[in-house]
């Protein structure tokens, strides 16, 4: 029930448009009732050969209701679909806004395919919440009131009989369909999400699947899930067909029952003979209002299952919270950490423990260490993707927890080992750092990142599409785009996280020359397990298992012949 109320709250901003759509739906069905009943009266009356003057009102009524039904149907579809599309748009924006603060900490346990399924398929399912769950019952209630008023003008027995069959079609039949298809909507949502997640994961990992010969296994798994989905869709189709058949049966039983009960009333003169067909066709036309009700509970169950999947994400609390009284952006950009300790899981060992770091404004500090030493964790804490449990981080003398996370990240540019490039043009990927950048600014950063010769050789220049993840580019080209993006952002703090990892020696030197340009005048923190070029750093910190093992300049650390010296010796042997 709580999920239902939360859904109602989400759609409540459009209640006025919804009421208009319901009213137009009522007028549409009402016009259909008016058309058939007036036509029946006109034909019955004309059979008695009255003067044309006596038929004029009925003739005008038929024309009016015929035109009105088409107009109201168009307006009803317009308003109902307008509010549905507005609702879907709002739901997607709402879900994205709720999901964004959870990245990356809270979303790491989620499959990318499952998240895509939630924001696309599950939100799409919720269109039925208004179209097939909320609106049809309201229209049916209004039509019921109209028809009870109509039949009460002729005989109370007709009113009770009509009410009985209307309740059977509008309430008892949907409850029966719900019992017959209990759990079907929930299973549909779950299996559809499983299918989407499997397909996305398979497409993203297609290279590895083919390389390791797992095509057949993946195909069998997808086929198995597809079989479940097809089976559920088949059951839903059978349920829909059964519901439509029973609804049609109920409608015709009501028609014949009203007709049979009305004939004696006509015979005794309680009802005029010209109204016999009117009473019968009134039933036939009014049952349009209950045509969509048998599957109401099925769509409700499906909507609640989809909503539950969305709410499970939106109800998650971010790991990082905004300060109650945020301070202004500092004037200086020196970085200091004092006793910094952090664990991803409070019950496990520390990823960083008692780290003390000092980088003056404009200074260059390298953090080195073997894989798993805690280098990337330090970046995550500086960017406030996670919040540390002990110690503190100061920027310009201010604790970063006192700054708005978005304002803090505006001060930091990151060149990571795996820079994500979007499936669009080089220009659009660069503009991610500064959407308002001019052509001159773009040309400048392209030149400083040593990209101009490469871009000039492309057929469409910087308007060339680079593919998903930039797969059309080499590793060095992707890194230079990342450097150009950092240059365009022009942030006072620069973090280089394994920026040259995976590059060959020649490409690494080219990228490092661009990085040298990037580091000028910025507070720089370089995290790497490669020890090339660290002579230019002001200070080097050596991490080992989350702890600060050594600290000093390149020369000082070599003279101590500790962990740094062993890493340096090993790297020289590998290069040779």
Q: What is the pLDDT of residue 567?
A: 83
Give the gyration radius of the chain's Cα atoms.
35
What pLDDT is stored for residue 50 in this prediction? 86
- Long-range contact set of residues 187-191: C-beta below 8 Å, sequence gap at least 24: 187/232, 188/229, 188/232, 188/233, 188/236, 188/302, 188/305, 189/121, 189/122, 189/125, 189/302, 189/305, 189/306, 189/309, 190/305, 191/225, 191/228, 191/229, 191/232
Q: In the prediction, which pLDDT does 206 show?
A: 86
Which pLDDT score is estimated for 139?
A: 94
> Which tens digits make up the pLDDT trace of 521-534?
888 988 887 777 78
Q: What integer pLDDT is reported at residue 574 of this predicted model?
A: 64
pTM of the model: 0.80
Residue 30's pLDDT is what? 94
- Identify the architecture of domain 335-575 in CATH: 3-Layer(aba) Sandwich (3.40)
Q: How far apart are CA 481 and CA 459, in angstroms?
A: 18
CA distance 418 to 499: 8
> Tell me, what's the pLDDT at 67?
95
How confident is the model over 237-293, as pLDDT tens digits? Answer: 998 899 899 999 999 999 999 999 999 988 888 888 899 999 999 999 999 999 888
Which pLDDT does position 504 carry in this prediction? 66
The string of DSSP letters for 77-123 reads: HHHHHHHHHHHHHHHHHHHHHHHGGGTTTTTTTS-HHHHHHIIIIIH
Cα–Cα distance measured from residue 354 to residue 532, given in angstroms and rounded to the nearest whole number? 27
Would you list the domain boundaries of the chain? 2-314, 335-575
CATH-assigned architecture of domain 2-314:
Up-down Bundle (1.20)
- Residues in the chain, pLDDT under 50: none
């Amino acid at each position: 029930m709580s999920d239902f109320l939360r859904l109602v709250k989400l759609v409540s901003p459009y209640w006025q448009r919804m009421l208009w759509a319901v009213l137009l739906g009522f007028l549409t069905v009402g016009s259909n009732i008016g058309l058939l009943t007036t036509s029946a009266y006109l034909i019955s009356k004309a059979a008695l050969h009255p003067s044309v003057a006596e038929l004029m009102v009925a003739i005008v009524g038929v024309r009016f209701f015929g035109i009105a039904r088409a107009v109201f149907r168009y307006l009803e579809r317009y308003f109902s679909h307008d509010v549905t599309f507005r609702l879907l748009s709002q739901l997607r924006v709402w879900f994205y806004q709720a999901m964004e603060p959870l990245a990356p900490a809270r979303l790491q346990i989620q499959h990318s395919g499952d998240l895509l399924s939630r924001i696309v398929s599950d939100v799409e399912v919720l269109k039925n919440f208004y179209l097939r769950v909320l609106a049809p019952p309201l229209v049916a209630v209004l039509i019921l009131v109209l028809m009870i008023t109509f039949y009460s003008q002729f005989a109370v027995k007709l009113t009770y009989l009509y009410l009985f069959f209307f309740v059977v079609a509008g309430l008892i039949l949907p409850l029966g369909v719900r019992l017959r298809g209990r759990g079907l909507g929930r299973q549909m949502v779950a299996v559809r999400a499983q299918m989407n997640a499997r397909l996305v994961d398979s497409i993203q990992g297609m290279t590895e699947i083919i390389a390791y010969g797992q095509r057949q296994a993946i195909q069998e798994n997808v086929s198995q899930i597809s079989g479940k989905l097809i089976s559920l869709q088949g059951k839903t189709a059978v349920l829909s067909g059964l519901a439509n058949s029973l609804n049609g049966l109920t409608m015709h039983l009501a028609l014949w029952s009203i007709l049979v009960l009305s004939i004696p009333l006509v015979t005794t003169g309680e009802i005029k003979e010209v109204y016999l067909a009117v009473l019968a066709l009134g039933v036939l036309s009014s049952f349009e209002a209950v045509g969509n009700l048998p599957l109401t509970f099925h769509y409700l169950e499906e909507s609640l299952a989809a909503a539950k999947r969305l709410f499970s994400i939106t109800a998650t609390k971010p790991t990082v919270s905004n300060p109650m009284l945020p301070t202004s952006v500092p004037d200086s950009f020196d970085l200091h950490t004092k006793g910094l300790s952090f664990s991803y899981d409070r019950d496990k060992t520390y990823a960083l423990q008692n780290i003390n770091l000092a980088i003056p404004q404009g200074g260059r500090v390298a953090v080195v260490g073997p894989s798993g030493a805690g280098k990337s964790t330090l970046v995550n804490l500086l960017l406030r993707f996670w919040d540390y449990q002990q110690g503190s981080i100061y920027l310009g003398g201010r604790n970063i927890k006192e700054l708005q996370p978005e304002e803090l990240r505006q001060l930091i540019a990151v060149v990571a080992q795996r820079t994500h490039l979007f499936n669009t043009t080089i220009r659009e990927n660069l503009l991610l750092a500064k959407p308002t950048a001019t052509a001159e600014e773009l040309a400048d950063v392209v030149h400083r990142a040593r990209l101009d010769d490469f871009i000039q050789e492309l057929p469409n220049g910087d308007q060339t599409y680079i593919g998903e993840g930039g797969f059309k580019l080499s590793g060095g080209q992707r890194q230079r785009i990342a450097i150009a993006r950092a240059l365009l952002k022009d942030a006072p703090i620069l973090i280089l996280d394994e920026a040259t990892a995976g590059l060959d020696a020649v490409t690494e030197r080219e990228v490092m020359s661009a990085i040298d340009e990037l580091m000028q005048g910025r507070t720089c923190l370089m995290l790497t397990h490669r020890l090339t070029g660290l002579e230019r750093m002001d200070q080097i910190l050596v991490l080992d298992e989350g702890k600060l093992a050594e600290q000093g300049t390149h020369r000082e650390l070599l003279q101590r012949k500790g962990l740094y010296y062993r890493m340096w010796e090993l790297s020289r042997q590998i290069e040779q």
